[in-house]
Structures are given as structure tokens and as C-alpha cells.
Amino acid sequence: MTDDDLTHDAFLGGLLHLWQPRSGYRAGVDPVLLAASIPAVSGQRVLELGCGVGAAILCLAARVAGLSLTGIEREEVYAGLAERNGAGVLEVVKADIAALPLTLRQRQFDHVLANPPYWRREASIAAGDPMREAALGEQTPLSTWIEIGAKRLVPKGLLHIIHRAERLPDILAALPHDMGGIEVLPIAAREGRAAERVIVRARKSGRADFRLHAPLILHRGDTHADGDQYTQPIRDALRTGAALDF
């Protein structure tokens, strides 16, 4: 793949630029919101499962300096782009999350984040582009993503996952027994609409009660005809890299 096959796209109002394939899967709003939900502080270790071109973890790094960043990516093209985008900042491990190298299985992290593929292919049609399908089609079970992520956490470490709202029962059921302090942030397109996404936070060895937060609303107005103006919290996250109040 040459630079003619790529675009160099601005994120966070130009604070971050990422090389992405011109065709196939391209990072959008979801990884940015995932990054904005993570309460990391300088000096902590962060691991992203299935990092793609590095959108989520590098958005987090743009907000919080001094993090130790590691991303796991199975697809060669995306792993190479993540290395390029995060040169000098992001360690990229080219591996399947279900078959991590021993050197990574011996390490633990303060934060683990993931934006797993959204679509179960027994109930949907595979994408024609192989790289897009790798990003969108669930080949590794969602439960495996959660199990692997939880294992890599230090005690009191936080796991964050963004996914379709319909999969919330699967996510909660897959969380290991030692993951507590569970919080769910629903994300809805507009006021009065059902949530389409959820961000789930869980703490290793956490003891706090379950919390279901009020929905985070993406757009002002009742319909698409009112325009796609983002609400202020979303605009701040997307344009300036601000953290979400989660």
C-alpha cells in the first residue's frame, strides 16, 4: 500500500493526524468517544485491543501526556499504519488478541480499551473489502475480547469497551466475576431516541454498585433536517480532545 492509497486525516480539531486507508474501514466518532471516556493520568500504562490505525489510543495520548501506550493489531496493514501514526509514542504488537505473545501475557496495564467488531456474521452480510470486514465482522467472540482485556489489568485497573447497545447483555454476562464497579454510558443520536451505542466501564476488584448513566446525546435537534450540530460535550470531545463526564 502506497501513500496514494491513504489519506492523512485530522482528529481532535487538528491536534492529531492519522494515516488511514482511502478505502475500507476508516476510524470515525466511536474511537474518539472511547478515548474521551478513559480517566487516565500521566505515568499509567494503557493497552488497546485491536488498535487499528491507533485512533482511540492516540486520541487518549493527545489528551493525557506521559502515558505508556501499547496496541495489539492482527491485520498487517493496520498495524503498520498504527506504527507510523504513533511513531515514538505507541508500541504496536502484531498479534491476534486470542494468541498473545508470552511477553505481553506477562504484563499488566492500568487501562485496557477496546472497540471490538460490531457485527455477528451469522445475522449480517460480510463486507466485500477484506480489511473492512476484519474491522467490522466479529470473528473472535466478544466474550474473548472481554476475558483477555480483564486478564491484562492490574488490580483496580479499568476496562473500557464501546459497542452496539444491543450487545450490552452479552458484555455484562462476559465480565469475569472479579470485575466490579460496572458503569454503563448509553449514547443516543438525539433526545428521545433509543441508545445506539454504549460505553461500558468495569474495574478489576471493584466493589462499587452498578451505575447506569443518563444517555449521552450526540446531536441537537429532533431530526436530521435540523442539521448535524453536535451537543457541547460531544463537540468538545471531537474538536478539542476533552474528556467526557463519565
pTM of the full structure: 0.90
Residue whose C-alpha is closest to residue 97's, from 133, 35, 52, 58: 52
Q: How confident is the model at residue 221 (pLDDT cuts 50, 70, 90)?
A: confident
Does position 138 have pLDDT exceeding 80, yes or no?
no
Q: What is the mean pLDDT of residues 148-163?
A: 98
What is the structure's pLDDT at 1?
A: 72
What is the structure's pLDDT at 129?
A: 56
CA separation for the pair 246, 244 (Å, rounded): 6
Interval 66-80: pLDDT, tens:
999 999 999 999 999
Q: What is the mean pLDDT of residues 215-244?
A: 87
Which set of grid coordinates corresponds to residue 174? 462476559
Which set of grid coordinates corresponds to residue 42? 500521566
CATH H-level superfamily of 3-240: Vaccinia Virus protein VP39 (3.40.50.150)
